[in-house]
Amino acid sequence: MVGNIAAQNSKKLEIKRNYSYSDFNVFESGDSTKTMVLFLHGAGSNYEMWNNHIKALESDYYCVAPDLPGHGESNPLSWTSIEEVGEELVSLIKNKTEEKIILIGFSLGGSLAFYLLENHPDLFVRAIIDGTSAYPIRGNVIALQLMSPFLKSNLILNAMAKSLGVKKSERSTFKRSIKMADRKSFKRSMIQANRFCLINTDFAETIPILYASGEKESKTMHQSHIKLSGLNNESKCVQYPGKGHAWMVFDEETHIYMITNWIKNIKDIPVKLITI
């Protein structure tokens, strides 16, 4: 079973990459001589989801946040595969710094982060994986295929915003971000993220990683986080109680606090989070 999934992960798509990392829209802030933090957003979003996190960190770190292919201002670039986008991100990192960096990935960005950690562990000193399973989540792919034709309708977007707990004041920004995403790229990237399967976990033994999720997310995700965090005494697994996938939208303040403390190697975990 694992072998078949691994083959699925590594299989090259028929869609040919029409870009390099230099074509990505990339937001940068902070002193480029300081430790670099790479922020990877979720599907249907763009770098702007990290705006307030970057504001909290830009005085102490070099913050880099790309729009992934098919998203935001990188909309004209077709999403191909986690492997190909991941390798372009490696080139982006090496172009920006020769030092090890801190990696943060949410949802689709978390799948990319897993790929990068698994295949290029020497590039990273610390990491945060949020809202991403290391193993395939059953059922989500069918739901995505059914929903994708109606993705940009206000009815669907309002329902998504409500279910995710997006504040009314932020809903116009939420809908604008999703409408900016290329429909085919969104569908393709989300299906790949939900089918992603980690094979080699050696990186988890040496790199301190914070694995975060909402309490109502899938058991598969929770189990993978518990397993991986158990491989390293410096890693942690936390959950936000009573919420699901995008709990950071509901309580951004706690999310920023969590990320800031982890990056700065401060042991204090926000009191609202459950340590598993």
- CATH class, 2-275 region: alpha beta
Summarize pLDDT for 221-263 with one digit per residue, the tens: 999 999 999 999 999 999 999 998 889 988 999 999 999 999 9
8 Å CB contact between 215 and 240: yes
Q: What is the pLDDT of residue 9?
A: 43
Report whether pLDDT(167) > 70.
no
Q: What is the pLDDT of residue 8?
A: 42
Three-state SS for the chain is: CHHHHHHHHHCCCCCCCCCCHHHCCEEEECCCCCCEEEEECCCCCCHHHHHHHHHHHCCCCEEEEECCCCCHHHCCCCCCCHHHHHHHHHHHHHHHCCCCEEEEEECHHHHHHHHHHHHCHHHEEEEEEECCCCCCCCCHHHHHHHHHHHCCCHHHHHHHHHHHCCCHHHHHHHHHHHHHCCHHHHHHHHHHHHHCCCCCCHHHHCCCEEEEEECCCCHHHHHHHHHHHCCCCCCEEEEECCCCCCHHHHCHHHHHHHHHHHHCCCCCCCCCCEEC
Summarize pLDDT for 189-208 with one digit per residue, the tens: 999 999 999 999 999 999 99
Summarize pLDDT for 259-274 with one digit per residue, the tens: 999 999 998 899 999 9
Summarize pLDDT for 44-100 with one digit per residue, the tens: 889 999 999 999 999 999 999 999 999 999 999 999 999 999 999 999 999 999 999
Nearest Cα residue to 40 out of 57, 75, 64, 58: 64
pTM over 0.85: yes
Structure tokens at 101: 């960096």
